[in-house]
Amino acid sequence: MADKFSRQLPSPHHPNPRVSSNPPTHHPSSPSPSNPSSQTIASPINLLLFALLLILVYYRLRPAPPPALAKPAPPIVFRTFTPPTLKPYNGENNMPVYLAVNGKVFDVSAGRNFYGPGGPYENFAGRDASRGLACGSFDEDMLTKDLQGPLDDLKGLGAEEWEAMRGWEERFQEKYLVVGKLVAVGDEQAKKEDGGKK
């Protein structure tokens, strides 16, 4: 009987044939120090690249500062000019560029490259340009010499020249502001404005 029991009990020196000899299973939740994927993700160069990516995203998505608004131009008051009071508006010394056509004074400062100093029409800046534009001439002799005298009455212009001048006048009215009218020195309207300033 003892012999019978001794057969059933496993001997400490012999392995039990019923007990599994498989090694213990490895739980995936505990990282292995020899796992290569965990070493490559947390490498210093990857952390540096990730930090750079975050910085780039921040600068890309952050709100831009509001743009600075340009200073508005001072308001332009319609006024009466005489040839001497129009002359300083020739674009020199930071002055605006005005010229007169058929009695209307236009602010052509936006076209300073053409009408201001050094431009092809600079002779007309601060002057009555009616005859020069009508005749298609930029010469100085197209301008009234005596600024204290009467305005150019445009006598001697033919039908084509009148048409050319009116074409210029219409073009200026489409592109530029009318800031006043041109009258001769001694005109009643000019006297009233001059009297009001004193």
pLDDT tens series, the chain, 198 aa: 555 554 555 555 555 555 555 555 555 555 555 555 555 677 888 888 888 998 988 888 888 778 888 777 677 778 999 999 999 999 999 899 999 999 999 999 999 999 999 999 899 999 999 999 999 988 888 888 889 988 988 898 899 999 999 999 999 999 999 999 999 988 877 777 765 554
pTM, two decimals, is: 0.60
pLDDT at 198: 44
State the virtual CA torsion across 48, 54, 60, 63 in degrees, nearest 10. Answer: -130
pLDDT at 103: 93
User: What span, in angstroms and rounded, lies between the C-alpha atoms of 111 and 144?
Assistant: 23
Integer CA distances (angstroms), 86 to 94, 118, 170, in order: 15, 19, 21
Q: Which residues contact 162 (CB under 8 A, 6 or more apart)?
A: 134, 154
pLDDT at 14: 52
Contact of 105 with 182, CB cutoff 8 Å: yes
pLDDT at 100: 95
How many helices and strands, by DSSP H and E, does the chain display?
Answer: 8, 4
Contact of 87 with 113, CB cutoff 8 Å: no
